Structure 1
Amino acid sequence: MKEKVSLVRCEDYSEENVEDALRESLSLISGIKKFVQRGDKVLLKVNLLMPRKPEAGITTHPAVMKALARMIKERGAEVMIGDSSMWMTNKALKLCGVEEVARELGVKAVNLDTFRPRKVKIKGGKVLKEVYIPSLALDVDVLVSVPKLKAHELTSLTGAVKNLLGLIPGRLKTEVHKTAPDPESFSEALLDIYSVVKPSFAVMDGVISVEGSAGVGGTRKVGVILASDNLLALDTVAGAIIGYKPEDLPVNRMAKKRGLKGVSLKEIEVLGEEISEVAEPRFRKPSRLIRLLGSFPALNPFFTNDYKPVLNRKKCIKCEICIEHCPVGAIKADDEGYPEFDYDKCIQCFCCREGCQAGAIELQESLLAKMISRVMAG
């Protein structure tokens, strides 16, 4: 039997359009009643990368949260909406619109960092042997991944599986990057988490997406809502919409080795729109060199100086968030208070770039890297 992924057009974030698209999307995969029963405690694990307003496009839009929470509440369930952000989760809950949605609907906005983490052993983990997960995420009856479709340097896209990294409390997320610095090992780490934390289903906000880079790229209208009870299948379809073959996604390549389903379009039944009808060929992907090294990690040592984060001093506000969150301590403040990179320590995880609220950290590619990108582009 094929994995089912619904794909529905949604042209904007008006409440009526989002709710109509979401109801149709869920009805195509048997409806919300398949997943939520009266009295259930339900956690919507949204993507709140950092405190940014919804129009920036880097976090799950509140219109999507609101429509989904309303549908679940109609089932007589208790709804909570939350995340553990890269930094300042309480501020993110407010600025990203979660608190307002919670007030309007009478549901709870939750900071996952405030719940006691529990150690979960990962039997057969490829990279992670154990992981700490907030007790709330483990105790609810229904966990829902509600990601934002975005580009990402390490995983090519941020989707339903990558969204689970946000369950790791606070700065422990950076330890995952430290343990798994390249695209393939990082993807294995995500799959390790996915092996012990299984959302009942996922709904993806693909109305307005971020291209180029998850935290600092430009916005691109894709105009879709997707849903599935197989997170890998959902991400495979989302990737196809923005121009990725399934095997282009490092998470898919690692999942295929594990024998997991949903990593090939042949295994998936797309319900609703055809992928070709909503495809966005103009979507700007991350550096082609980084994607190449994700496919051939043995080449990484030969290109460590060919792509690296650099500071745009004109944009930097000296908040020191990049310094605090670098997993390997490769950034320190110079005499003027600006971040300074130690490239001998840098592992090119780009946490600094992804989490920079001012967009002051840019990706610098060498002439060789640019030449490789042009060749790969044909």
Structure 2
Amino acid sequence: MKSTVCIFNVPGYDVDRIEQTVERGLEILGLGIQESKRILLKPNIISQNYPSQCTTTHPGVVEAVVRVLKKRNAAVVIGESSAFYEKGFTEMGFRTSGIQRVADKYDIPTRAFEKHALALFKEPSNRVLPEILLPADIREYDLIVNLPKLKTHMAMYFSGAVKNLFGLVPGGAKYEYHFLNGMGHLCLAHKMCDIVQTVRPGLHIMDAVWGLEGPGPTAMGRPRHTGLIIMAKDPFALDFAAGSIAGYDPAGIPTNAAAIERGLMPSREDIEIKGDFSSLAELPVFDFKKPVISPEQEKNKNTLYKIMAVSPRLVARRCDSCGICARECAVGAIAMSNKPLFNERACLHCYHCFYSCPHHAIKLSGKWYNRVVQVLRRLIRL
């Protein structure tokens, strides 16, 4: 069975042109979005960066997609959970990326996943994660539209459609999932494939107008103009084509390699290129500068996590023992005695307890050097 990937020349972020491009893509893909559907847009907001840094999905792409959906009277929600975990970081990322401005313009709610109800989801076909912590209502949407950014990645070589869905995992649980049930690039890639299999988004629209090369996916990378919008219903086929455009051997990208191993990736012969190009061989190759990945990276990443991580702590004087935090904890890491007791081994650091407490009796606390790192990050906008 053929998997179609639409690739269009789009030199800049003119919203009218991108809107027309998305409409063309929907027609080619045969994806008729019916009226009045509930739709989740999942952009990439890795950090509290500005559009010019090219780490986040550009607001012009988000606005164009919103227009297309609003014409069909869709009830749109824009949701994300930022990769760096402190109070309010996701909401700050919505603002700095320009996406909050788009949401306000079209009266669309934005959702920081860690602030809302969470649940564990099971999928029989999962390889590494038998259950995954996700937004509780993730399967209630009629359509999930994934809006990745074309980027290199220091841990996963390449950040595309599959990698972007890791942002559905709330708060610090993303870092926990780097190490849960095994470590290494391919193991993590299988976890990301597990998320795709659990959530099954219906449409992927990649912002490849400006990409990011070098030590991505954060602002340490360097913006690179590529002038493309890429669309597909199949995230694996999209990543195969997008990885080729960035100058990778597609089979060498860990998420692609995991998908090939599991039979999720269509063969090269079964990937059909349409739009402004007609074959994989015809695609432009930009040969992005690749990140340098050391053998010590997993060890270093674990150290970085310990420096960056914050954990929930009880502010006893504010607690009235209502038990909401324990009831809301999707993984059962909080037990009620007279006061809530936190099981640090079971905690996935999703931080939902912090946001759900009506008395502000839970704080997020890290080591003293955590605050220093966060201040430095804000100053240099990494």
Q: Report the TM range for the smaller structure's normalisation.
A: 0.7 to 0.9
Give the whole-Å Cα distance in 2 for the aligned partners of 1:322 and 1:91: 23
Q: Tell me by how many angstroms 1:81 deviates.
A: 1.2
TM-score (normalizing by structure 1): 0.76
Q: How does 1:118-267 map to 2 (within 5 A)?
A: 118-179=119-180, 180-212=182-214, 213-215=216-218, 216-262=220-266, 264-267=267-270
Q: How does 1:71-110 map to 2 (within 5 A)?
A: 71-87=68-84, 88-110=89-111
- Deviations 1:95-115, CA, capped at 9 Å, x for gaps: 111221112122222222222
1:222·1:278 contact (CA, 8 Å) conserved in 2?
no
Give the whole-Å Cα distance in 2 for the aligned partners of 1:129 and 1:222: 38
Distance verdict in 2 for CA 1:356–1:209, change over 3 Å? farther
**Structure 2 partner of 1:56:** 53
Q: How does 1:327-366 map to 2 (within 5 A)?
A: 356=377
1:161 aligned counterpart, secondary structure: helix
**Structure 2 partner of 1:279:** 284
Distance verdict in 2 for CA 1:222–1:119, change over 3 Å? same
- Deviations 1:279-321, CA, capped at 9 Å, x for gaps: 243411112x55xxxxxxxxxxxx4389968xxxxxxxxxx99
Give the whole-Å Cα distance in 1 for the aligned partners of 2:144 and 2:271: 22
Query: How many residue pairs are counted as aligned between the two chains?
Result: 319
**Structure 1 partner of 2:38:** 41
TM-score (normalizing by structure 2): 0.76
Give the whole-Å Cα distance in 2 for the aligned partners of 1:185 and 1:13: 36
1:45·1:145 contact (CA, 8 Å) conserved in 2?
yes
Distance verdict in 2 for CA 1:196–1:14, change over 3 Å? same
Gaps of 5+ in 2: 312-347, 349-365
Give the whole-Å Cα distance in 2 for the aligned partners of 1:109 and 1:124: 31
User: Are 2:320 and 1:323 equivalent residues in the alignment?
Assistant: no
**Structure 1 partner of 2:27:** 27
1:28 aligned counterpart, secondary structure: helix
1:118·1:135 contact (CA, 8 Å) conserved in 2?
yes
- Deviations 1:204-235, CA, capped at 9 Å, x for gaps: 00011111121120000011001111010011
Q: Tell me by how many angstroms 1:323 deviates.
A: 2.2
**Structure 2 partner of 1:268:** 271
Gaps of 5+ in 1: 291-302, 310-319, 340-351, 362-378
**Larger RCO, structures 1/2 (Cα 8 Å, 6+ apart):** 2
Q: Over aligned residue pairs, what C-alpha RMSD do you find?
A: 3.0
Name which of structure 1's ranges 225-234 and 77-86 shifts more when overlaid on structure 2.
Answer: 77-86
Name which of structure 1's ranges 268-277 and 134-143 shifts more when overlaid on structure 2.
Answer: 268-277
Q: Tell me by how many angstroms 1:124 deviates.
A: 4.3
- Deviations 1:302-349, CA, capped at 9 Å, x for gaps: x4389968xxxxxxxxxx998233999xx9666x9866xxxxxxxxxx
- Deviations 1:101-155, CA, capped at 9 Å, x for gaps: 1121222222222220011123243221211110232221111111111101222
Amino acid aligned to 1:190: M
Give the whole-Å Cα distance in 2 for the aligned partners of 1:305 and 1:148: 23
1:222·1:280 contact (CA, 8 Å) conserved in 2?
no
**Structure 1 partner of 2:356:** none
1:112·1:136 contact (CA, 8 Å) conserved in 2?
no
Percentage identity across paired residues of the two chains? 30
Give the whole-Å Cα distance in 2 for the aligned partners of 1:51 and 1:85: 8
Amino acid aligned to 2:12: D
Distance verdict in 2 for CA 1:305–1:61, change over 3 Å? closer
Name which of structure 1's ranges 267-276 and 163-172 shifts more when overlaid on structure 2.
Answer: 267-276
Q: Tell me by how many angstroms 1:28 deviates.
A: 2.0
- Deviations 1:179-223, CA, capped at 9 Å, x for gaps: 243110110110111111100111100011111121120000011
User: Are 2:80 and 1:67 equivalent residues in the alignment?
Assistant: no
2:76 aligned counterpart, secondary structure: strand
Amino acid aligned to 2:296: T
Give the whole-Å Cα distance in 2 for the aligned partners of 1:103 and 1:40: 20
Distance verdict in 2 for CA 1:118–1:304, change over 3 Å? same
**Structure 2 partner of 1:373:** none
